[in-house]
Amino acid sequence: MEELKDITLQVCEIARKVGVYIREQAKNFTFDSVEQKKSHDYVSYVDKTSEEQLVEALRKLPVAAGFVTEEKTASYHEEAYCWVVDPLDGTTNYVHHYAPYAISIALRRGKEILVGVVYEISYDECFYAWKGGGAYLNGNVLSVNKNDDIDKALLCLELPYNDKAYKQAGLHLINHFYGLVGGIRMNGSAAAALCYVAAGRFDGWLEKYLGQWDFSAGLLIVLEAGGTVTNFEGNDDYLYGNDIVASNGIIHDELLQTIQQCELC
């Protein structure tokens, strides 16, 4: 346990240092620096350079681990441990100078997430957790909220890039929850949204067509904060999937029931 805590705190420092680079680049960043991986899915030199910096720093930690990274600057060869890294989750937000955007780093052993760190750069908020050790924000303990009234719930319903595949599902979810819940938001960063569930800011969040680098760190933070995480089918076989539901646990069944009413979700 103590070893995991030490590693987690070192990862926090790594994320903060690379976050300084990302924050500095934002001052003069323009859309001319952006490449389009696919429709509305952006990447820039900031993503690539920050990932290289993260990989270099993580390799110096006392963990023999491979890497699963969004920008493919390092590789995984079935090592026992694996770093799962998103150098800039919320690139679309970043290129439009709009918060939130975050660094997300998880340490995985098999299907078990041991460490999760999400550094939300624009607000200087470092969320972190280690297995069995609780969840924290800048040193303060996190806990999901205890709201059990869907009428007061604040939900985050993201609309992914795969608009043709997800449009019917997205409209179904918005149609069901709009007017039923206290409010609906779109966040633009899966990693940050998960942390906002852990911090009690959102009562629930769900998204599809994700990569594991988007959610691996955040889901551990939610679980350690007392929340619930499943896939759209309602089970915990989510690590290699692409859909996640996270909540305070109390409203989770209602979220799942609504998802499962739509065959295309």
Q: Which domains are assigned to the chain?
A: 2-141 (3.30.540.10), 150-260 (3.40.190.80)
The alpha carbon of 4 is separated from its chain's Cα centroid by a whole number of angstroms, namely 20
The predicted pLDDT at position 165 comes to 86
Q: DSSP letter at 144?
A: -
Instruction: For residue 39, count CB atoms less than 10 angstroms from its CB and return exposed for 0-12, middle for 13-18, buried for 19 or more.
Output: exposed
Write the CB contacts of 172 (distance below 8 Å, at least 6 apart in sequence): 258, 261, 262, 264, 265
Classify 185 as helix, strand or coil. Answer: strand
Write the CB contacts of 260 (distance below 8 Å, at least 6 apart in sequence): 232, 233, 234
- For residue 112, name the pLDDT band (cuts at 50, 70, 90): very high
The alpha carbon of 178 is separated from its chain's Cα centroid by a whole number of angstroms, namely 24
Q: 38 pLDDT exceeds 90?
A: no
Classify 204 as helix, strand or coil. Answer: strand
The predicted pLDDT at position 40 comes to 55
* Lowest mean per-residue pLDDT among 69-78, 91-100, 171-180, 195-204: 69-78
Write the CB contacts of 111 (distance below 8 Å, at least 6 apart in sequence): 239
In this structure, are residues 199 and 127 in contact, taking their beta carbons and an 8 Å threshold? yes
Strands (E), 45-181: 65-69, 81-89, 102-109, 112-120, 125-130, 135-137, 140-141, 154-157
- For residue 41, name the pLDDT band (cuts at 50, 70, 90): low
Adjacent-strand bridge partners of 83: 67, 107
- For residue 148, name the pLDDT band (cuts at 50, 70, 90): very high
**Mean of all residue pLDDT scores within the chain:** 92
The predicted pLDDT at position 160 comes to 87
Whole-model pTM: value is 0.94
Write the CB contacts of 54 (distance below 8 Å, at least 6 apart in sequence): 14, 15, 18, 85, 87, 103, 105
Give kind and range of the element (H or E) at residue 183: strand 183-185
The predicted pLDDT at position 125 comes to 98
In one-letter notation, the amino acid at residue 19 is: G
List phi, psi (to 5°) of 258: -70, -40
Largest separation between any pair of C-alpha atoms in the chain: 51
